[in-house]
Structure 1
């Protein structure tokens, strides 16, 4: 197949636009604050790893990472579990009723999360879940569940109904049909929702900042704010923390990337 030079040029320019800021962030982590201000875009004078050492030794970075991992893993797990069960129920309901339930969840994608900040805080406060990781997990699930239902339902609708009917004729229960057939065939859409939810929850600042107060339960995005002062920001330290916080996202994407594109196209377009 003949290569399109114009397309390759556009992709190359796009790659540079993405790569240059990432390279600057990575290079900044090896600089001191005075060196950054004197030479912001040049190579560091020496490959200084003191910023990483200070983060790993003097700062409670592992505690923040642990809190973020707990919130992200539990939120993503329950989003996938609930979304897949709801999606399976929607495709098994009568068509009109299924569309009503489906539309109800799609409407949840319309309202911006910022609009619900005060009601969410008041509700979590009444439930005694303010300043707890459980409260952040519940809120994250509730706001990302509609997107998960939207993508997985779109994918499950493309599955042949004959598979479900044949399983029922063989005496399989609904739970077995869901777990052994629908769930396994929906792995591409599940991977898409998993990556999307993982990235959103891991990087979320709004709800942790709204609900978490004490240092012991802070997540990593909130901890990054500690490197910003009123008159001076320690950018090398801040960027070093950003690099460390990006590692779990890269690992998750490497393992799930082969399902990502197929899940997006099948779940959102069909």
Structure 2
């Protein structure tokens, strides 16, 4: 068999794309390890003095571990409840799409993906405040609800590809609808559960706007919000700022590196099947 000739156009685009991703990361790491004087002398060069103390100072100034705890708690709870609740709603819709009411529900949920958040931001802030939900619990509930639109879209597409004969066999054996879902359908949703869980994890951890407008107590601040609150303090010391940014980004970078195959394959399966 003849060896395929390399496609230089695609290869060049991949190289350029990789550089566009890696170069900002290189700058973030090097700036976080420089002194203010080194940063003023040269932005691009490697640091002459590797100041790991910048990370310790950033941790102390931003109360990093408190914000990390808040972000971790919110992310874990949101991921678990999103998978459990959104999959059940999607299953009920997917198996009843032949009915007008459920078809309306499907398009109603999916249409929410096209509603920009700034349009509903003010009503949400006023409502959560009046209900006493301007806290971490309210933030978790909003994440779970706001994830419904996209999650139902991918879940329904995947569930429709699961043969109904599996459910019919379980019902013949005496299983209830509830048991059919948890014993038959939910285990088969593992690839899609992984995809939804990873995407929800990335969103809840990195989101800035929703915590900014919902949370009223600085002790409840998440990592992205802490970076914003201390922006003025970092205006003359970007070394500490970049050290703090890198620590906040590091957990999700690791999650994405190890889980990107489930993200890509899961979204493709949910959209096509």
Contact map agreement 1:227 1:237 (CA 8 A) in 2: no
Residue from 93, 98, 121 that aligns with 2:96: 93
**Could you say which residue in structure 2 is the equivalent of 1:104?**
108
1:220 equivalent in alignment to 2:223: yes
- Count of residue pairs brought into register by the alignment: 269
* 2:56 match: secondary structure: helix
Q: Which moved more, 1:153-162 or 1:170-179?
A: 170-179
* 2:46 match: secondary structure: coil
Residue from 249, 257, 266 that aligns with 1:246: 249
Counterpart-to-counterpart distance in 2, 1:149 and 1:94 = 13
After TM superposition, the score normalised by the length of structure 1 is 0.92
1:115 equivalent in alignment to 2:119: yes
Distance 1:233 1:195, change over 3 A: farther
Post-superposition CA distance 1:32-68 (Å, at most 9, x none): 2232122111111121101111133454100000011
Structure 1 portions without partners, runs of 5+: none
Q: What is the RMSD of the two structures over their aligned residues, measured on CA atoms?
A: 1.9
Contact map agreement 2:59 2:244 (CA 8 A) in 1: no
Structure 2 portions without partners, runs of 5+: none
Post-superposition CA distance 1:99-151 (Å, at most 9, x none): 22211111211211111111101111111122x11111112222122111111
Counterpart-to-counterpart distance in 2, 1:2 and 1:115 = 51
Residue from 146, 149, 173 that aligns with 1:146: 149
Contact map agreement 2:215 2:221 (CA 8 A) in 1: yes
Q: 4+ residue runs of structure 1 moved beyond 6 angstroms?
A: none
Contact map agreement 2:62 2:230 (CA 8 A) in 1: no
**Could you say which residue in structure 2 is the equivalent of 1:188?**
191
**What pairs with 1:1-270 in structure 2 (closer than 5 Å)?**
2=4, 4-6=6-8, 7-57=10-60, 59-97=62-100, 98-130=102-134, 132-229=135-232, 232-270=235-273
Counterpart-to-counterpart distance in 2, 1:231 and 1:15 = 29
Contact map agreement 2:90 2:152 (CA 8 A) in 1: yes
